[in-house]
Amino acid sequence: MLPRLKVLIGLMFVTVFLCGLTLSSDVSAADKENCLMCHKYAGNGRFDDKGHRKIFYVNEEVFRTTVHGFLRCRQCHQDINKIPHIGAKKVNCTVDCHLVEPSTKDWGEEKKNFSHGKVAAIFNVSVHNPETRSDGKKRKNPEDVPTCKYCHTNPKYYTGATAQAVAAEKRETAVVNDICGQCHENLEWAKRFYGHFTRRVNKRRGAAQMVELCLGCHSDVELMNRNGLPPINAFEDSFHFKAIKFGDTRVPDCLGCHAPLGFPAHSIKTLEDPDSAVYAQNRLQNTCALEDCHGANTTEDFASGRVHNIDVDVRVGKGLLEGMATDYIKETIEKGNKFDEIMTEKTRAGAGTELEVLILNLVRFVYLFLIIAPTLIGMFLHQILDLYSTLRDRKKGGHH
């Protein structure tokens, strides 16, 4: 029995050794630079000089399912050359990756490493250029401009998935199993590449989320005044946003007008730029008159209408920050007033005969001065009389 026991113990040691070797190879494949030796702890972080909390914890399981999950840490954090390290510079998203750009690989082209540099070059000549404002002046506050990570957040790190995200995950899994799996054997590979394409073709956010993202900056009165722009703080009162809140999927969000098909989101231009989707001559054809929007019967006058209630936005901004209004904002107010005059003239011209105009004015007078005004005055008098009655009864001791 003793020799057999020795053989059995020997086999157990060999099995444990092989299992440990396998596990260690998997870990090293995921973290060849051993960065997770420190960054695997959930409490890892510190407060910077401005009191902002910096989190250095990395969940390996979650990270490996992201678009950058197969990259090594130093392929982005290229300034780190020793462990332990002190500090880390901000990641530059335009550096060349280790991946070969797939359209140059084995297709007769010169093989090139993948880079986001092309997108960055387009972004740097857009309205969000970090160096120059839309009016051509040098930007005094480049930190006001959104960075890559402001828009390109990673929802996998959020606590709790939305119903929309869960539904998308189920749909993606079903498509991979039922369609991709008919040809491709490795379903994990198929799901990765299917997700890679569909998540870029489809919108990353719903319409309401897109509006919330853009208004995070554009409704900030102080930030907009600092950059010579009118704040967009009345869009949520518009018809478009109300339809979005009720779930109408046909209604455009911010990108629906400023970056429709043919106008990339990274190259959004100003209203005055001929290459902009909302430029006067482009607005009718490329935005309002699209088949999914108002259709081919959209008129030029309709397409030139105001969407953001810009005159209201500007006056609110001036009220909150009096004296900070720029020449650009003052000019916008003048344009808004001129627009009102033009639309008033067009309304009168379209009213028809003088009798029809007289009837319209009479209806307006009755509605404003014989219905609304008396109602408001009556409500005010009722509150005054009620207050008088209450005070009188309290003095007599009969009402509390």
Distance CA 120, CA 302 (A): 35
Please indicate, yes or no, whether residues 35 and 86 belong to a single structural domain of this protein.
Answer: yes
Among 64, 118, 63, smallest CA distance to 96 is for 118
Please indicate, yes or no, whether residues 364 and 390 belong to a single structural domain of this protein.
Answer: yes
Please indicate, yes or no, whether residues 38 and 85 belong to a single structural domain of this protein.
Answer: yes
Confidence of residue 206 (pLDDT cuts 50, 70, 90): confident
Distance CA 348, CA 357 (A): 7
Does residue 234 sit within a domain?
no
Whether pLDDT at 7 is above 60: no
* pLDDT-above-70 percentage for the chain: 75
Please indicate, yes or no, whether residues 87 and 38 belong to a single structural domain of this protein.
Answer: yes
**Average pLDDT of the chain, as a whole number:** 76
Whether pLDDT at 17 is above 70: no
Indicate the pTM of the whole model.
0.61
Confidence of residue 382 (pLDDT cuts 50, 70, 90): very high
Q: Average pLDDT in the 35-45 region?
A: 87
Please indicate, yes or no, whether residues 55 and 11 belong to a single structural domain of this protein.
Answer: no
Does residue 9 sit within a domain?
yes
Confidence of residue 325 (pLDDT cuts 50, 70, 90): very low
Whether pLDDT at 380 is above 80: yes
Distances from the Cα of 398 to the Cαs of 110, 238, 351, 383, 385, in angstroms?
95, 50, 60, 20, 17
Distance CA 326, CA 318 (A): 10
Distance CA 287, CA 295 (A): 10
Confidence of residue 340 (pLDDT cuts 50, 70, 90): low
Please indicate, yes or no, whether residues 7 and 52 belong to a single structural domain of this protein.
Answer: no
Q: What is the pLDDT of residue 167?
A: 74
Confidence of residue 1 (pLDDT cuts 50, 70, 90): very low
Please indicate, yes or no, whether residues 368 and 400 belong to a single structural domain of this protein.
Answer: yes
Confidence of residue 345 (pLDDT cuts 50, 70, 90): low
Please indicate, yes or no, whether residues 20 and 37 belong to a single structural domain of this protein.
Answer: no
Which range, of 160-164, 221-225, 228-232, averages the lowest pLDDT?
A: 160-164
Domain that holds residue 369: 353-400
Among 228, 392, 257, 197, smallest CA distance to 326 is for 228
Report the domain count for the chain: 3
Where does residue 106 fall: left (phi above 0), alpha (psi -120 to 50 degrees), or beta otherwise? left
Q: What is the pLDDT of residue 8?
A: 54
Which range, of 66-70, 82-86, 129-133, 345-349, averages the lowest pLDDT?
A: 345-349
Q: What is the pLDDT of residue 6?
A: 54
Please indicate, yes or no, whether residues 375 and 399 belong to a single structural domain of this protein.
Answer: yes
Whether pLDDT at 215 is above 70: yes
Please indicate, yes or no, whether residues 362 and 394 belong to a single structural domain of this protein.
Answer: yes
Q: What is the pLDDT of residue 279?
A: 86
The more confident residue out of 367 and 229 is: 367
Q: What is the pLDDT of residue 183?
A: 92
Q: Average pLDDT in the 7-31 region?
A: 48
Does residue 227 sit within a domain?
no
Q: What is the pLDDT of residue 320?
A: 41
Please indicate, yes or no, whether residues 56 and 85 belong to a single structural domain of this protein.
Answer: yes
Distances from the Cα of 270 to the Cαs of 35, 136, 147, 332, in angstroms?
44, 11, 18, 14
Does residue 361 sit within a domain?
yes
Whether pLDDT at 278 is above 70: yes
Axis crossing angle, helix 310-320 with helix 327-350, rounded to the nearest 10 = 140
**Structure-token pair, residue 81:** 């050359």
Please indicate, yes or no, whether residues 361 and 389 belong to a single structural domain of this protein.
Answer: yes
CB atoms within 10 A of CB 163: 7
What dihedral angle (degrees, nearest 10) is formed by the CA atoms of 243, 249, 251, 252? 130
DSSP assignment of 336-363: HHHHHHHHHHHHHHHT-SHHHHHHHHHH
Does residue 269 sit within a domain?
no
pLDDT in tens, 309-321: 554 444 444 444 4
Does residue 144 sit within a domain?
no
Q: What is the pLDDT of residue 385?
A: 92
Quick one: the chain helix, strand, coil %, rounded to 5? 55, 0, 40
Does residue 35 sit within a domain?
yes
Place of tokens 């929309």: 164
Does residue 58 sit within a domain?
yes
Say whether 54 sits in a helix, a strand or coil.
strand
